[in-house]
Structure 1
Amino acid sequence: MDLLQYVQDKYIAKKEFPKFKAGDTITVYYEIREGAKTRTQFFKGVVLQIRGTGGTKTFTIRKMSGDVGVQRVFPMNMPALQKIEIDRRGKVRRARIFYFKNLRGKKARIKDASYKK
């Protein structure tokens, strides 16, 4: 076992989040510190990709804010992450749906899937 893996397993706290994949619509709640105050903010959007393993695992979410598309990359082991809620399960045929960025209107809809966990 290499040193990096040992340190990640021993010292990085693992949080339990529900299983999700590309095409799912999720809401991510995370903590924002502004000076001495902290508040919880959420980001709701479609998962574009999940990449990495273990301590370096990240996921990318995209949402539409008016006419502008906003993307955000969240590390899975980010200390500020509080919880993840799955709003809708989506059925897509790829693990990374970057083509989704170019779609507008009715074409940008994702079919509902009924898979478990």
Structure 2
Amino acid sequence: MSNIIKQLEQEQLKQNVPSFRPGDTLEVKVWVVEGSKRRLQAFEGVVIAIRNRGLHSAFTLRKVSNGVGVERVFQTHSPAVDSIAVKRKGAVRKANFTTYVNVQVNQLVLKSV
């Protein structure tokens, strides 16, 4: 990759992203556009996967809403993501536990740190 592209990507990286790992509980505030209105929507869940690729980094959160498991992938450096806050640290044995769809995420989190 050329130096110009690397420099442009470096300028677009967000600087205020907290460090988090799989098993942590995050609250992500995302800008949502509905018609002509724009508002912030909060999504709180457990990190089940992280993809570190510089500007193209992403992470997956999972939560259970009304008995239904919901997974959502967020681009870490997207302008649609307003803020990321770590609510709780968790210790898990696996780095990526997306294969445990039928298992409750709370059963995978072994202990709070």
User: Which interval holds the TM-score relative to the shorter structure?
Assistant: 0.7 to 0.9
Kept after mapping to 2: 8 A contact 1:24/1:89: yes
1:32 counterpart residue number: 32
1:103 counterpart residue number: 103
Query: Distance in 2 between the 1:58 and 1:85 partners?
Result: 15
Query: Distance in 1 between the 2:68 and 2:110 partners?
Result: 19
How many residues align structurally?
112
Query: Distance in 1 between the 2:26 and 2:107 partners?
Result: 20
Question: SS at 2:82's partner residue?
Answer: strand
2:9 counterpart residue number: 8
Query: Distance in 1 between the 2:103 and 2:42 partners?
Result: 24
Structure 1 unmatched ranges of 5 or more: none
Structure 2 unmatched ranges of 5 or more: none
Deviates more, 1:78-87 or 1:104-113: 104-113
Root mean square deviation of aligned Cα: 2.1
The CA deviation string for residues 21-55 of structure 1, in whole angstroms up to 9 with x for no partner, is 10001110011112221111010000001113210
1:23 counterpart residue number: 23
Query: Distance in 2 between the 1:14 and 1:105 partners?
Result: 28
Kept after mapping to 2: 8 A contact 1:47/1:62: yes
Question: SS at 2:18's partner residue?
Answer: coil
The CA deviation string for residues 60-107 of structure 1, in whole angstroms up to 9 with x for no partner, is 000001221100000011101111111110001121122442214973
Establish whether residue 58 from structure 1 lines up as the match of residue 71 from structure 2: no
TM-score normalised over the length of structure 2: 0.85
Q: Against the structure 1 CA distance between its residues 19 and 78, is the aligned structure 2 distance closer, same or farther, given a 3 Å change threshold?
A: same
1:86 counterpart residue number: 86
